[in-house]
């Protein structure tokens, strides 16, 4: 396993739409293992493959709280089948937009289908932080960042702040 560099705004790769994965194989599992290690090192709770420069429809996530046993999850070719009419606000952040947090309104519940680490197809409902995180990460697969849900002014300020942080590093 290896920690990979995480792309940050305004890197154009982050705006690409990721392509579907043909098969869950050993090479893909290496990518998912690297993504988890990268996410834990950052630290974060979710990471899409495009954030490490791989434009494929893969997400890793771990919503375990500090002090809890790690609970890594793998999502290959995830798709949202249903969203609730009810929405909920949540303050989001992103490893590709470091140190920027803002409230985003999203559907409160979703039903999704994906393949897991073994390539098995899973269908399940998500709510709360899980629903927020899966929607946030799936946005990445479609070239959308959480700041794209904000006003133009807030988005431009966020990008400028990240550029400034990156230049200073």
pLDDT digits (tens, 9 = 90+) for 49-78: 999 999 999 999 999 988 899 999 999 999
What the block records as the tokens of 75 is 């999502």
- 21: number of Cβ within 10 Å: 17
What the block records as the tokens of 159 is 């990008």
pLDDT digits (tens, 9 = 90+) for 2-15: 999 999 999 999 99
What's the pLDDT at 68?
A: 93
Q: Which residues pair with 80 in a beta bridge?
A: 112
Domains of the chain by residue range: 12-168
Backbone angles phi, psi at 160, to 5 degrees: -60, -40
What the block records as the tokens of 109 is 């519940």
Give the burial string for 111-125 (b: 16+ CB within 10 Å, else e). ebebbebeeeeeeee
Please give the CATH topology (third level) of the domain spanning 12-168: Peptide Deformylase (3.90.45)
What's the pLDDT at 124?
A: 98
| Closest to 35 measured CA to CA, from 4, 14, 66, 63 | 4
From first CA to last CA, the distance across the chain in angstroms is 25
Average pLDDT, the chain: 96
pLDDT digits (tens, 9 = 90+) for 153-166: 999 999 999 888 88
Name residues whose C-beta falls within 8 Å of residue 111's C-beta, 6 or more positions apart in sequence: 80, 81, 82, 83, 123, 124, 125, 126
pLDDT digits (tens, 9 = 90+) for 108-130: 999 999 999 999 999 999 999 99
CA distance 59 to 78: 8
What's the pLDDT at 1?
A: 79
Name residues whose C-beta falls within 8 Å of residue 13's C-beta, 6 or more positions apart in sequence: 7, 50, 53, 55
Q: Cα 116 vs. chain centroid, distance in angstroms?
A: 16
Q: Which residues are catalytic?
A: 137
What's the pLDDT at 165?
A: 85
What's the pLDDT at 66?
A: 85
Residue 89 pLDDT > 90: yes
Would the pTM count as exceeding 0.75? Answer: yes
- Beta pairing class for 121-127 and 58-61: unpaired
């Amino acid at each position: 396993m290896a920690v990979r560099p995480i792309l940050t705004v305004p890197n154009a790769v982050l705006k690409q739409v990721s392509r579907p994965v043909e098969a869950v194989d050993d090479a893909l599992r290496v990518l998912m293992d690297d993504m988890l290690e990268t996410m834990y090192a950052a630290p974060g709770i979710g990471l899409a493959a495009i954030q490490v420069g791989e434009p494929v429809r893969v997400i890793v996530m771990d919503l375990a709280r500090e002090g809890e046993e790690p609970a890594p999850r793998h999502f290959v070719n995830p798709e949202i089948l249903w969203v609730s009419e009810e929405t909920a606000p949540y303050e989001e952040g992103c490893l590709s937009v470091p140190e920027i947090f803002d409230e985003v309104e999203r559907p409160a519940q979703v039903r999704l289908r994906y393949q897991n680490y073994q390539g098995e197809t899973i269908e399940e409902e998500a709510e709360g932080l899980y629903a927020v995180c899966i929607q946030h990460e799936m946005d990445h697969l479609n070239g959308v960042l959480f700041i794209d849900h904000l006003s133009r002014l807030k988005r431009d300020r966020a990008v400028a702040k990240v550029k400034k942080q990156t230049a200073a590093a």
